[in-house]
Every structure is written in C-alpha cells, then in structure tokens.
Chains A and B, each alone.
Chain A
Amino acid sequence: MTISATADYALRAILVLARDGATRPVRADEIAEATGAPRNYMAKTLNSLAKAGLVSSARGPAGGYVLSVAAEELSLATIVDLFDEPRPQTHCMLGSTPCDPQHPCAAHGTWTRIKAERRAPLASTTVADLLTGRAPATASAVSTAVSTTRTLPMPIHRSTFSAKRAVTTAILATAALLSSATIIGCTSSADAAESKSGVPVRQVTDEIRGEEVAKLVAPPNVPAPITRSHATKVIVNLEVIEKTMRLADSVEYTMWTFGGSVPGTFIRVRQGDLVELHLKNAANSTMPHNIDLHAVTGPGGGAKVSLTLPGHESVFTFTALNPGLYVYHCATSPVPMHMANGMYGMILVEPKGGLPKVDREFYVMQSEFYTHGKYGEHGLQTLDMDKGIEEKPTYVVFNGAVGALTGDNALQAKVGERVRIFFGDAGPNLVSSFHVIGEIFDNVYQEGGSMATQHNVQTTLVPAGGSAIVEFGVEKSGDLILVDHAIFRAFNKGTLGMIHVSGDDDKKVFAAVKTGVPGMKGE
C-alpha cells in the first residue's frame, strides 16, 4: 500500500516527538523544520493527531507537543490509518458487481490477502521499533492473529477504521495494534453494526515464538528484565501454600500464600506473551483457592476457571494484552478472608520496548492484617473479621511482616544508582500514600500504567488492588525510609521499610552545617 504525503509527515512528526518529546514539549515550528513540512501543513497535521489523542499540546512559552501514547504501543498503522482511510472494497476488481465476504467475486480473496500482507508490517511495527532501528516483527501478523485469538474467548470483529470516528475515540484504544486482515477488504453491513464506535479493541497480533518457564522469585526481589524482542509462551507455576509465618517479633499468623511468601511470587512477562498459568494448591491445604490476575482479559481475571482443591491444579492461558504492573489475588469466597490472610502478589507486563534501564529493582507490597490480639501481642494470631469489616487493621505492613524491609532486611543501593520500586497495595481495605523519606520520585508510573506519567513526586497515592512504579536516583548515602505517609500506620502499625544507601556522598546534594542539639552529629 502507498502512504500519502500527509500520513508520511504525520509519521515523521510522531518520530520527532518520540525522540525529543520525552523530556520537553516540542513546538510546532520545530517539528515542521525537523520534518521538512510547511508550517501550516504541519500545524494541521498535528491538530489531527491531537484530535485522535495521539499527541497532546500545551500552550505558553514552554508549550508545544508531546506524544500521549507510549511509542512501544503505537503501531505505524494506527497513524497511517488516520489519514489514509482504507477504501472499503465494495466493488469487485473485475467489475461493478457488489462484493462482500458473503458474495465474493473471484478476485476478492486473493486481493484482500495481498492488501493485508502489504499492510501487515505497518500493523506489527511500532514507533519505538522504527526509532530504535529494531527489525519489525515478522510479517505473519495475519495468520498469527487467527491462530492465537483462539486462546481468548473474545469475539473478534473489525470494521473499517474511519478517521472521522477515530477522532472521537479514546487514546489507548487507538494505540492497539490492529489486525490487518480485517481492516482492508470488503465492508459488510454486519461488521459496521458490530463496531459502531469504530474504536478498535486490542487484539492478539504477536507471533508466539518458543516457550519458557517463568523464573519466579520471592519479594523483595524481581526477576531480571526481559531481553527478548518477541512474544513467547511463558509457563508460570504458582503453588498455594498455607503456612504459619512471622508477622512481627514473637507474633505469628497462618498465612495463605502464593508461592510461600507474602506478597506472592513476582511474575514478569512481556506484552504479547501467551501465559500458561498453572495454579497448584498444596495437598495439605485446608481450603480451595483460585486466582484473579488483574493483567488478565478474561472471565474473573482467571478466577472463574481456577478454583482449585488441595492437591489439585488448574491451568488456563491468557495473552498479556496490556502492559503495566498488576495485582493478582485469590478470589475464593469469602474473598476478604483470603486476601486478609496474605493471598496477593503482582505481575509485571513489560511494554514491548521494556522499561528504561535502572540499577536496582525492588518489589514492595503494602497490606493489612486484622488480628484478634492487639499490635505486638505475642503468639499465633488469627483473623479478626470484625476489625476487617470495620476497616481497622491491627497491622499495616510492607512485604507481609513488620520489619520485612528494615534492619538486616533493608533494601540495598549505592550512591549514583537508579532505583525502581514495583509498589503494590493489596489492601484489603486501605489506600496507600507511598512516600520515601529523604528522596523524591523522579518518575511515577501512576496506578501502575505503562508510562511515566508524573515526575518529581513526593508521595504517590496507590489504590487498594492497585500499584505504582516509582523510579529515583540515589544521590546521598544513608538510610531512606519507606512509609505510608498516613503516618500513624508507619509509627504504630508497622508500615516501615528501608533502603540502605552506601557510597561516597556529594556534599553539594546535602550537608549538615549546624545542628540545634549540642553534640548531635546530624547525619
């Protein structure tokens, strides 16, 4: 297929924004200059891109345009289709007889396939691919879509992707990779009726190559970043284990766990991966359990098909359609009890380009415990349902226990390193005002989405059953303290963690000059 001049300029503009717009807005005239487009022409093009939600603009002296969709998620087809509306093939190439899938002419199938194949690379190549010079995914998107969508119980119906309709659509939906086969070709009235909004939904377009067993690690560690640049089948083996564990010094609690730890094992996959999740329930468990992963597009997040008796295993597959950091949890009745007993963890779906490189990655999850005994009361504690219903926790902790991240368990980093925390809030009730004393978050992926949406943040709000990714450089030695800044919790209920930062200081970052208490060293 040919690409019109307007679409070509739009592609160039997007590339400029993807390259330069990450750190500052880029002015329209700068974009025009960089792309070689006439100013007025580029202004109109940018306006179209903005209406489609692909770029955002800000006014004023520091104003300009930024990309409002992750480059890793933006296929070239999404951009091109805004300007080069695929012509509905309602007439046969051989004549004027109306042509549609129900009444195809002789040339219909072949021509549709040729058009689809020519367009496939646009659908399977993202702006990030183009920017990094990475080879686009193999151009077998057509057949792959057919073969892999079988794993999803989703009806796949597409209609012509109209530019006019797209203008009114949501941003994320337009970023979805489009299945090319269904976009080009004849338009049938049935198709049009089934997708009135014209908004494409996410589809499985990636070719699954190979198979691997997910390496699962316990908190506060996370598996290494994914280096492969293709989708694969990932087998995740998760076992539910009920066991008595330490909640605080001399305080124990019979936890129900995913993988033997609270929070549960961290799962790391890549967008487009086909995940085959094996949920085992240990033979000595006393309860049936299941799993609802918020990363799953499907019935109950998997809960509907994963109720598992002790000594048994459930298996289901899902395609990681949306990148982001997601909570998973048990959803067996009574769900508040299963969650209050420790049944939660997180799964990271890396965007296709991966996350920016950092030196340290940690897994921290906040949650509450409701015990019959008061805070610190020794012995084996059990769930106090009344406190749960009243939302008055006895403990609010990071990583399942008071002191899980302090003292000898403190997280470690060195001056000059960049740190990323995958932070989750399991609840069951409270939201978290996550804060690191003595640091500022350079980047926050609010609510665990796939983009750094906020910069230079002191405290980020994390909903129950939600997450956030925070990144910061450590510039000063000493101890950084992780808290829920609803500060009574930190002081009286255990919500404390620590990052011990070692190394040489830059006194320009911080220096104590004089302390108001005689003899006190300050630092």
Chain B
Amino acid sequence: MTTAMRAAVLALLLLLVLPSTAFAVPGRGARGTRAAAAMAALPAGSYRPLYGRAGGERVAVAAFRLDRTAVTRGEYLDFVRANPQWRRDAIRNVFAEPGYLSTWADALNAGDASDLQRPVTEISWFAARAYCAWRGARLPTMDEWEYAAAASETRRDASADPAFVRRLVALYAGRAGTTPGAVGRGAPNAYGVRDLHGLVWEWTADFNSVIVADDSRSTGSGVGERDHQIFCASAAIGAADATNYAAFLRYAVRAALTGRSTMRTLGFRCASGA
C-alpha cells in the first residue's frame, strides 16, 4: 500500500469519524479534502425537473452539501499524483476516452498557476467519481445539481423566471470559442454556490438516468418512460416547461454522454450528505 493510498484511507476514516463541519483545515487539504467552508450546505427542498418522473410535479431533495466551486485543474493534479492509475498515460481505456486530460502539457503538468485555477475538464464520469470518492465525497445526483442550479443570486428557485433562463442560455451559448476562466469568480447563488452555469457543464452521478440518446419523433414518449425524446420538436413533449431552453441544453448534453465521455467544456464538483 502506497503512502498516498494510506493517506487516502486515513482521510476516508476521518470523514467517517468526524462530522464534516469539524474539519478545521484551512483551504484545500493536503489530501484533496476541502475545508468545510468550501462546501455549501443546502437545506432540504424540492424542484421541478424538466422531465418529471411524477407527472411534472416537484421532486423532493434531501439536505446535502455541495462544493461552492468546480474542481480545479490544480486539485485534480493532486489526485492524479496520489493516484497514478488516473494519469492520462495510465488510465484504462474503459474508464475514459482518449480525450481525457488531453490538453494538459503532459501527464503531470496541468499548466501554469492560472491554469491550475481553471475548472478541470476532459474528465470522464468514472474519473470524476473516483476523484470525489478519494476526497471522501461523491458526485451530486442530477436532482441535487438541478435543485442547486435553479437558484439565482437572490432566489432559491428562479427556474420559472424568464430573465434567469435567458441569462443561462446566453451563458451556455457564450462559452463557444472561449477557455473557461478561474473558478469562483461568478457571483454566489442563493445557497452560496458559484459557477454552476457560467463556466462548464458538470457531471452528475446519474447523468444518464432520465433520458437516453434516441430520436424524439418516435411515439410513446410519455412521462415516466425511459425514452424522453431529446431530439427535434417532440423534445417538448412531456417537458415541464417547453420555454426553458437552458434546461433543454443541459439535458441534451447529459443525454449525449457515456461514462467514458470527455469534453473540453465538461467538468464536475463534488457533493456529500448533510
């Protein structure tokens, strides 16, 4: 067992033993753990998913904690150093596509100081999940992520606010041709979480649970069925709000992913129980 692995195990044990609020380590911990302050506590509540599993009704979400910012290149570099099997030159094909970390200068060079502050992207779902586990956390579920992301700076649920949706669509579309900047620069939302929309798409634990990559114009796309039809006009069938283009974009991205997928504009953040 390597030192790093022992350290990871120790970190896990600490997490199990101590309530997460008891962490007193300032900033990012040596083993990739984040200070309690780096995670926001979200109270239990509910949200209205684009494709409801209960006839368009709101879905309950239990209290949880969510990283205030996306995982950075610097943080992920620590993970790779500690877990060489996740280096891009060592990762098994089954866990990631060739695009995995492909814009890094080399396997252990994620760029200069400013690069290290940017969200890590070109990450597969397997890799994101492994990182969060190493940190003693997990990926947020889609419900948790959407619940947190429904908040504007001032309101916990702004998903039905046309101005908010408009802004998100512009943010998503505005990413084209740009490199995501440093994390944490966006204004915190009502829960104190930043950059859920402004920087990159983000993995969720169950990204593929709601919709599958199929054509929408086949029939029988009722709510509750697996085939939720993300293509063409009939994507609107069964959607809670056909004007929420921001949500359609997010769901379409998730539908296109597999666990191995990587994108230059796809990163992640971690969550944990309350």
Residues in A lying within 8 Å of B, measured CB to CB: 242-244, 254, 256, 283-288, 290, 292, 299-300, 303-304, 307-311, 331-337, 341, 372, 382-386, 389
Of the candidates B165, B176, B252, B261, which one forms a contact with A243 in the assembled complex, judged by CB atoms under 8 Å apart?
Answer: B176
Of the candidates A287, A300, A385, A386, which one forms a contact with B253 in the assembled complex, judged by CB atoms under 8 Å apart?
Answer: A287
User: Measured between alpha carbons, how far is A331 from B174 in the docked complex, in Å?
Assistant: 20
User: Measured between alpha carbons, how far is A332 from B213 in the docked complex, in Å?
Assistant: 10
Q: Decide if B169 is an interface residue (CB 8 Å cutoff).
A: yes
Tell me the minimal C-beta distance from B232 to chain A in angstroms.
Answer: 4
Interface magnitude class on chain B: 35 or more
Tell me the minimal C-beta distance from A205 to chain B in angstroms.
Answer: 28
Of the candidates A256, A286, A299, A385, which one forms a contact with B169 in the assembled complex, judged by CB atoms under 8 Å apart?
Answer: A385
Residues in B whose Cβ lies below 8 Å from that of A335:
231-233, 235
**Does A337 lie within 8 Å of B249, measured CB to CB?**
yes
Residues in B whose Cβ lies below 8 Å from that of A300:
215-217, 231-232
Residues in B whose Cβ lies below 8 Å from that of A243:
176-177
Beyond known contacts A284-B177, A299-B218, A337-B245: 16 more, CB 8 A cutoff: A242-B176, A284-B176, A286-B176, A287-B172, A287-B252, A303-B232, A310-B264, A332-B252, A333-B216, A333-B232, A333-B255, A334-B252, A382-B169, A382-B173, A383-B173, A385-B243
**Does A283 lie within 8 Å of B231, measured CB to CB?**
no
**Does B248 lie within 8 Å of A333, measured CB to CB?**
yes
Q: Decide if B12 is an interface residue (CB 8 Å cutoff).
A: no
Of the candidates A284, A292, A299, A307, which one forms a contact with B264 in the assembled complex, judged by CB atoms under 8 Å apart?
Answer: A284
Greatest chain B CB density within 10 A among A283, A286, A292, A304 is at A286
User: Measured between alpha carbons, how far is A383 from B230 in the docked complex, in Å?
Assistant: 20
Residues in B whose Cβ lies below 8 Å from that of A332:
230-231, 252, 256
**Does A288 lie within 8 Å of B253, measured CB to CB?**
yes
In the A-B complex, the 4 residue pairs with the smallest Cβ-Cβ separation, listed nearest first, are A304-B215, A288-B256, A333-B235, A334-B248
Q: Decide if B80 is an interface residue (CB 8 Å cutoff).
A: no
User: Measured between alpha carbons, how far is A331 from B213 in the docked complex, in Å?
Assistant: 12
Encode B214-232 as 1/0 by CB contact (under 8 A) with A.
1111100000000000111
Tell me the minimal C-beta distance from B240 to chain A in angstroms.
Answer: 14
Of chain A, the residue at the smallest CB distance from B175 is A286
With A283-B99, A333-B232: A307-B213 Cβ-Cβ less than 8 Å: yes
Encode B244-262 as 1/0 by CB contact (under 8 A) with A.
0100110111011100011
Q: Decide if B265 is an interface residue (CB 8 Å cutoff).
A: yes
Residues in B lying within 8 Å of A, measured CB to CB: 99, 162, 165-166, 169-170, 172-177, 201, 213-218, 230-233, 235, 243, 245, 248-249, 251-253, 255-257, 261-265
User: Measured between alpha carbons, how far is A341 from B175 in the docked complex, in Å?
Assistant: 14
User: Measured between alpha carbons, how far is A283 from B232 in the docked complex, in Å?
Assistant: 23
Of chain B, the residue at the smallest CB distance from A389 is B243
**Does B264 lie within 8 Å of A254, measured CB to CB?**
no
Of chain A, the residue at the smallest CB distance from B50 is A333
Tell me the minimal C-beta distance from A427 to chain B in angstroms.
Answer: 12
Residues in A whose Cβ lies below 8 Å from that of B216:
300, 331, 333
25 contacts between A and B (CB under 8 A): A242-B176, A242-B177, A256-B176, A284-B176, A284-B264, A286-B173, A286-B176, A288-B252, A288-B256, A290-B231, A299-B215, A300-B215, A303-B231, A303-B232, A309-B263, A331-B231, A331-B232, A333-B216, A333-B231, A333-B235, A333-B251, A334-B235, A334-B249, A383-B170, A389-B243
Of chain A, the residue at the smallest CB distance from B265 is A286
User: Measured between alpha carbons, how far is A311 from B97 in the docked complex, in Å?
Assistant: 10
Tell me the minimal C-beta distance from B231 to chain A in angstroms.
Answer: 5
Residues in A whose Cβ lies below 8 Å from that of B172:
286-287
**Does A309 lie within 8 Å of B232, measured CB to CB?**
no
User: Measured between alpha carbons, how far is A341 from B233 in the docked complex, in Å?
Assistant: 16
**Does B232 lie within 8 Å of A386, measured CB to CB?**
no
Residues in A whose Cβ lies below 8 Å from that of B248:
333-334, 337
Residues in B whose Cβ lies below 8 Å from that of A304:
214-215, 231
User: Measured between alpha carbons, how far is A310 from B122 in the docked complex, in Å?
Assistant: 11
Tell me the minimal C-beta distance from B266 to chain A in angstroms.
Answer: 9
With A283-B99, A290-B231: A382-B170 Cβ-Cβ less than 8 Å: yes
Of chain A, the residue at the smallest CB distance from B99 is A311
Residues in A whose Cβ lies below 8 Å from that of B169:
337, 382-383, 385
With A283-B99, A304-B214, A383-B169: A292-B232 Cβ-Cβ less than 8 Å: yes
Greatest chain A CB density within 10 A among B174, B213, B230, B251 is at B230
Of chain B, the residue at the smallest CB distance from A253 is B173
Residues in B whose Cβ lies below 8 Å from that of A384:
166
Residues in A whose Cβ lies below 8 Å from that of B218:
299
User: Measured between alpha carbons, how far is A303 from B229 in the docked complex, in Å?
Assistant: 12
Residues in B whose Cβ lies below 8 Å from that of A307:
213, 231, 255-256
Residues in B whose Cβ lies below 8 Å from that of A256:
176
Tell me the minimal C-beta distance from B8 to chain A in angstroms.
Answer: 31
Of chain B, the residue at the smallest CB distance from A341 is B173
User: Measured between alpha carbons, how far is A429 from B213 in the docked complex, in Å?
Assistant: 26
Of chain B, the residue at the smallest CB distance from A388 is B245
User: Measured between alpha carbons, how far is A403 from B204 in the docked complex, in Å?
Assistant: 45
Residues in A whose Cβ lies below 8 Å from that of B214:
304
